[in-house]
Chains A and B, each alone.
Chain A
Amino acid sequence: MRLRHRSLHWCPPSAADAARMPLTPSEPPTLSAVTELVMGLMEPDPDLARVSGVQSADEVSEIYAHAAKPLIGLLTALGGNRADAEEVAQDSFVRLLEHWTKVRDYDNPEAWLRTVAVRTMISRHRRREVARRALRSPRANDPPTPSTDSQVDLAEALSQLPITHRAVILLHYVDDLPVDEVARRLCIPVGTVKSRLSRARAALAPLLTDEETSST
């Protein structure tokens, strides 16, 4: 049985995100639903009991079979850490499982899954960053000096970027999302996406080989 959509909302607002490809579950607003997800504090979907848990698990496991690995890859590139990526990916699948009665009707449940996962990773990283900054001396707070070595490893270069910039550039260039879609998924203004892309491109520019550059 296909269940009817609820009207959900994700910031920034778009009713279509809810009706066509909603990116958020329907919990009451809280300080940080994403953070709650990580901590396991979200209330379960009340509709869950209306659909067999076994059936939900079977259907989600099918998605897991083909989506888990690439999701872990994306999250590893985003967060720079495989263990974190696996944990966040699993948390996101738990979330998907808990909300499957709604998400299964969306046009693109995997987009929902990846958005939840990316935001969760950003949230987790930000918390750690806050803690790390708090423990550092002011001198250590200085931004890292960008490498001038054109052969610098891409992973290293990515790690020099703020995670919010990494998310923008990965969603834009790997997930192939337009700027406004990235903005919608990350709940930030379009202009912010464009400026972050600009800075991220500039930071990664030394990595591009001679094949794709020409002298000015």
Chain B
Amino acid sequence: MTDLSRKLTEHVADVTPDAAPSFNAVLSRSQRRRRRRQAGWAASSVAVVVVGAVGFGGLLSVSGQDQGTTSVSGQDQGTTTGPGPSDTRHSSHPSTQSTVPIPPDTKPNTPPPVQFLAGGKTVNIAPYSFCWFGPEGDGVRQSGLCADGWLEDKDLVDVADRKAVDFWFAADGDWNFQATFSELGEKCPRRITVPVEKTGEGSFRVTPAGLAGDYRVDLFGRGRQGSVGAAFKWSTLTRGTMPQPDAYMGLVSGAGGDLQTYGLELSVSDLAATPQTATARVTVTASNGRSMSIDAHRKGSAQNCRDEGSVFFTGDRPQSQQFLALGPAPYTYDVALTLDGSTYAGQGVWPTDERKSERPYVTLTFDPPLPAFTGDN
């Protein structure tokens, strides 16, 4: 049996050392770090590496510490009274504008903040995570900065109870955002991801998702200059976009011109609730009519927190391998999914129903439809 998992695992084993450095090295490193802190060496500047615009003259700036602290989190958000669209609090029809000025205090080589209006003032939320590249062109090769961070719930900027959140992002080019809603205070919250409406050049609108409630909303944006993540708290007033159940299965792939399998994966999400019990039996039928069935195994229900309303299954890789011997494609995937005693029949065909950017995952359609989250169930 060979598959990608085994090869990768073997590769990791191959590069795993026979012995690790002594634990004393960790202790020494810890002590050095403590001493540096005590000495105030670190100060309070944020450690990022900024590579400035590089022209023909070479590197202009390198050290992030030279750049000083960059305001990033909700704690650090600034408020200005700069130009911006009208306050859209409680308004369903905010105005938009064609161009969004970059806030004057935006650091070079960093993304501009996400801006919105609150109480007549523009509130800036700087991205907590981003990869940002400057312009490319004659004489300027590339510049950029990447930073990974996070933002705790307690530090989220609260946009209060407006009907929609209109924000502005002063970046050139065609930027697109999506918003992920996670109900605050829940142990394993349902996460609802919705596209963000573009309302103008650099202006966007987030409308509610899920039931009315208190949410953490994570914005994830992509554009010519890179990607950004920013978050805020929003107490939605009304029920918004409700997620529809989504199911996909991965088994056979045609990458590389040959059929291959990476093992069976079956994911079902945005169900009405996380089922207490869930089983899945998968039958694969090749174009010649030969078929084979296996029971998939539910994963992660006990050890890991899964999003509310989701289940995930895998199949034994050796068994998955045998599907390839059935015969030629197309392959019909039939899934008998039993959730808390109710059985749903799902079907998808590979490669016909393969998701274009998510190969080899195939969308499954269920009959009867999978139970959707409505808030009433």
Contact = CB atoms under 8 A, between A and B. Distances in A.
Interface of chain A: mostly helix, strand, loop or mixed: helix
A46 to B, nearest CB: 13
Given A41-B42, A94-B26, A178-B300, A12 B62 contact: no
A131 B49 contact: yes
A13 B148 contact: no
Contacts of B191: 12-14
B259 A214 contact: yes
A41 B306 CA distance: 32
B357 A13 contact: no
Nearest to A158: B11
B292 interface: no
B299 to A, nearest CB: 6
B218 A11 contact: yes
Interface in B243-275: 253-262, 265, 267, 269
B44 to A, nearest CB: 8
Contact of B30 (A15, A36, A94): A94
Q: Which of A61, A206, A212 has the most CB of B within 10 A?
A: A212
A68 B16 CA distance: 10
Contacts of B57: none
A9 B75 contact: no
Given A43-B37, A180-B310, A135 B59 contact: yes
A7 B216 CA distance: 15
Contacts of B15: 73, 76-77, 82, 155
Interface string A62-80: 0011001110111011000
A29 B26 contact: no
A209 B256 CA distance: 11
A208 B149 contact: no
Given A28-B75, A212-B260, A198 B357 contact: yes
Interface string B271-315: 000000000000000000000000000011001111100101010
Contacts of B143: 134
Contacts of B13: 73
A153 B317 CA distance: 23
A64 to B, nearest CB: 5
A137 B54 CA distance: 10
B42 A39 contact: yes
Given A133-B144, A179-B267, A189 B256 contact: no
14 contacts: A14-B182, A15-B188, A20-B187, A24-B150, A32-B47, A35-B46, A61-B23, A64-B23, A72-B20, A86-B20, A134-B141, A135-B54, A181-B304, A191-B358
Interface residues of B, number: 115
Given A38-B47, A91-B29, A178-B312, A69 B150 contact: no
A52 interface: no
A207 B301 CA distance: 33
Contacts of B21: 68, 86, 90
Interface stretch (B93-101, B159-167, B320-328, B341-349): B320-328
A122 to B, nearest CB: 7
A208 to B, nearest CB: 5
A17 B305 contact: yes
B129 interface: yes
Interface string B109-124: 0000000000000000
B373 interface: no
A86 B47 CA distance: 21
Interface stretch (B2-10, B84-92, B197-205, B332-340): B2-10
Contacts of A209: 2
Contacts of B23: 60-61, 64-65, 68, 93
B17 interface: yes
Contacts of B52: 134
Contacts of A155: 11, 15
A38 B25 CA distance: 15
Interface in B126-181: 128-129, 131, 133, 136, 141-153, 155, 178, 180
Contacts of A30: 46, 72-73, 149
B144 A130 contact: yes
A57 to B, nearest CB: 6
A173 B5 contact: yes
B73 A29 contact: yes
A154 interface: yes
A69 B16 contact: yes
Contacts of A68: 20-21, 23
Contact of B48 (A32, A64, A65): A32
B183 to A, nearest CB: 9
Contacts of A26: 152
A212 B135 CA distance: 44
A3 interface: no
B146 A127 contact: yes
A122 B304 CA distance: 23
B210 interface: no
B265 A31 contact: no
Given A9-B152, A155-B15, A173-B4, A44 B34 contact: yes
A82 B17 contact: yes
Nearest to B262: A201
Contacts of B25: 90
Given A31-B48, A69-B17, A73-B13, A180 B254 contact: no
